A and B are shown apart, each in its own frame.
Chain A
Amino acid sequence: MKVKVRFYASLREKLGFKEGVINLEGNDDFPSLIAELKKVIGWKVNIIMDEEGGIRKNLMVSVNNTLINPPELAKLRFKNGDRVDIMPLPSGG
């Protein structure tokens, strides 16, 4: 199963990584996505995830253009072709 992951703004610059396709074999959940992402960006995955294994509070996540509340991330089950956007909190206007 392939999931597209994209990063925005300051997060993209901190990670040095804009977007990529992550191959999920076996498990289809968010922790598995992060585990595969860690193989690509290494220790920088700690910029996204906190010590408890949750998404950092200064970030937001959308899947297929729908924002996901952090407590709901654990319930996510990806499908082939899903698009995951991980973004800093807003600063527009």
Chain B
Amino acid sequence: MKVKISERLDELASLVRELEEASGEIGAVTIFIGVVRGTDGLGRNRRVLKLEYEAHETLASKVIGGMIEKSKAKHGIIDAIVEHRVGEARVGEEVMYVIVASKHRKEGFKALTELVDKIKHEAPIWKKEVTEEGEYWIEDISGTP
């Protein structure tokens, strides 16, 4: 398991390799990549210039680590890696990786979807949209895909 909250993400291919080399039982690696979108997340049609992320890094790592452990117990996945950026991120840049290794794809897809949702709703990480109209902290992401 690896959780990293940092200004830079590691290279995705090396993270996948890290997981794959850890076990000979892995039959599937499922990946979510969070990318900065050019329009605001709440349907207001504002053009996003950049995002600014802030985190309680110690707590976020702890909370996400706990999510991965629970996911192993619930879905039987073999392991997972989560990385999330803090600081500024421009449109089109990647900001989050969630990588799940499992024996079969079925549990991998389930665990991945659940982990991504949990991280968005429960990990102490916050996002500010910097748009042409001003800067806005995203206060409520319930309902946003």
A residues with CB within 8 A of B: 8-10, 13, 58, 60, 62, 65, 67, 85, 87-93
Are the C-beta atoms of B139 and A93 separated by less than 8 Å? Answer: no
Q: How far is the CA of A87 from the CA of B137 in the complex (A)?
A: 13
Q: Is B124 within 8 A of A90, CB to CB? A: yes
- The residue on B at minimum CB distance from A83 is B58
Q: How far is the CA of A91 from the CA of B137 in the complex (A)?
A: 8
Contact indicator A65/B62 (Cβ below 8 Å): yes
Binary interface encoding of chain B residues 103-145 relative to chain A, with 1 for a CB under 8 A from any of its CBs, else 0: 0000000000000100111111111100000000111110000
- The secondary structure that dominates the B interface is mixed
Report the tally of A-B residue pairs with Cβ distances under 8 A: 76
Contact A10 B56 (CB under 8 A): no
**A88 pairs with B119, CB closer than 8 A:** no
Which of B56, B60, B141 makes the CB contact (< 8 A) with A91? B141
A42 CB to nearest chain B CB (Å): 22
Within 8 Å CB of B9, what residues of A? none
24 pairs from A and B in contact (CB 8 Å cutoff): A8-B54, A8-B56, A8-B126, A9-B126, A10-B128, A58-B139, A60-B124, A62-B59, A62-B124, A85-B56, A88-B126, A88-B139, A89-B121, A90-B119, A90-B122, A90-B124, A91-B125, A91-B140, A91-B141, A92-B96, A92-B119, A92-B127, A93-B95, A93-B96
**CB <8 Å contact, B121 and A9:** no
Contacts of B139 in A (CB 8 A): 10, 58, 88-89, 91
Tell me whether A62 and B53 are in contact in the complex, defined as CB-CB below 8 angstroms, given that A9-B128, A90-B120, A91-B127 are known contacts: no
Residues in A whose Cβ lies below 8 Å from that of B123: 90, 92-93
Q: Does B28 contact A (CB under 8 A)?
A: no
Docked CA distance A60–B121 (Å): 12
A62 & B141 in contact (Cβ 8 Å cutoff): no
Q: Give the CA-CA distance A8 to B53 in the complex, in Å.
A: 11
Could you list 16 further interchain pairs (A-B, Cβ under 8 angstroms) beyond the known A62-B59, A90-B141, A93-B95?
A8-B54, A9-B128, A10-B128, A10-B137, A58-B139, A62-B56, A65-B59, A65-B62, A85-B56, A87-B56, A90-B120, A90-B123, A92-B119, A92-B127, A93-B125, A93-B127
